[in-house]
Amino acid sequence: MTVVGPFGLSVQDRDLTSDVQAGMDAVEASLTETVKSDVPFITVTASHLIEAGGKRFRPLLVMLAAQFGDPYAPGVVPAAVVVELTHLATLYHDDVMDEAPVRRGAPSANSRWDNSVAILTGDFLFSRASQVLADLGPAAVRLQADAFERLVTGQILETAGPRPEDDPLQHYLDVIAGKTGSLVAVACHLGALMSGATPEAVEILRQYGERMGTAFQLADDVLDIASDGHESGKTPGTDLREGVPTLPILLLQQMPVDEADPEDLRLRELLTFDLAADDELHAEALKLLRRHPALERARRDTLRYAEEARALLAPLPDCPAKAALQGLCDAVAIRTM
């Protein structure tokens, strides 16, 4: 059994492993070349997150989706480069908005340089992605433009927060669909499209990517509470400490108060405090949330999205790539245990 890509994705077919690895190697080399500038400083800042590594989840999905057509088609690797550059660009901008000091184990661009450099570097990466995209034809340009609009809309919705008349949980799911689902969906869509897959396969893979993007983000929400930090790569309860209302908290808020349960009452009280200012209160809230039914419900909701993604693949022909995509659904289940 060979493991390729992020999340322990296992591929048991030697030819598929070879194809995917060759594609990923080509993407990595192209990323390095694409961000080079005549201005040395820009090359340094634009290469910063590429050199820091990362899961390369979206390029992996491009490669797997391309297996339903011609995986060696000339547009497949550039499509993977486009989606990864777009993703990287959003990370530069996210770190400015979040005032994040670290990204992928290295100082974030905004902390290493400053906010202006980070924002402009993100813009530079968007421009380079657009240059690569232009050679893929108007259909690809339209897909990326639509996905980018959804991505920005999701970020604006998150920044603005839900309106008084909005359902906070639905607002949050809309944010995830825009910020995460859109680009994962376009990775699958472009991979299939550039490979010459049938229109039916292209649409199935697009919908699969949409569900998987949401499922992996929701799995991160569960991991933030349930993990000891080794798997998630970040301190447990980070979102809880920062007061970010993710799936477990939103579900808790929708559940009726159990007046007979002192732990439920205490947890709701703790959530009214500034947990970032008190490590003991944060630890107590994290402990209670791990035992609360809201966390188990968050697991079930996450698995539902993963199972919906798996079900979408049913009409596709059985092949190693389909099995690998189904394996990502299993990875969601493992991540939320």
237 in helix, strand or coil? Answer: coil
Q: How confident is the model at residue 254 (pLDDT cuts 50, 70, 90)?
A: very high
The confidence score (pLDDT) of residue 234 equals 57
Q: Please give the radius of gyration of the chain, using alpha carbons only, rounded to the nearest integer.
A: 20
User: In this structure, are 116 and 223 located in the same domain?
Assistant: no
Cβ-contact 18, 67 below 8 angstroms: no
Taking residues 241-261, report their average pLDDT.
Answer: 92
- Distance of alpha carbon 174 from alpha carbon 180, whole angstroms: 10
Q: How confident is the model at residue 168 (pLDDT cuts 50, 70, 90)?
A: very high
pLDDT of 172-201, one tens digit each?
A: 999 999 999 999 999 999 999 999 999 999
- Host domain of residue 84: 9-197
Cβ-contact 58, 4 below 8 angstroms: no
Q: What is the distance between the terminal CA atoms of the chain, rounded to a whole angstrom?
A: 23
Last-in-domain residue among 168, 197, 226: 197
What pairs with residue 107 in β-bridges?
102
Cβ-contact 335, 328 below 8 angstroms: no
User: In this structure, are 189 and 233 located in the same domain?
Assistant: no
- Distance of alpha carbon 104 from alpha carbon 72, whole angstroms: 31
Neighbours of 184 (CB within 10 A): 26
Looking at the structure of the chain, the number of domains it has is 2
CATH number, domain with residue 309: 1.10.600.10
Both structure tokens of 5: 């890509």
Whether 1 maps to a domain, the answer reads: no
Q: How confident is the model at residue 261 (pLDDT cuts 50, 70, 90)?
A: very high
Query: Where is average pLDDT lowest: 44-48, 108-112, 171-175, 203-207?
Result: 108-112
**Dihedral sign, Cα of residue 228, residue 250, residue 181, residue 327:** positive
Taking residues 23-47, report their average pLDDT.
Answer: 90
Numbers of helices and strands, H then E, in the chain: 16, 4
Cβ-contact 308, 332 below 8 angstroms: no
Residue 2 has pLDDT above 50, yes or no: no
Name which residue leads in pLDDT, 232 or 163.
163
- Distance of alpha carbon 297 from alpha carbon 281, whole angstroms: 24
- Distance of alpha carbon 134 from alpha carbon 241, whole angstroms: 43
Region class of 216: left (phi > 0), else alpha (psi between -120 and 50), else beta: alpha
pTM of the model: 0.88
User: In this structure, are 176 and 222 located in the same domain?
Assistant: no
User: In this structure, are 166 and 266 located in the same domain?
Assistant: no
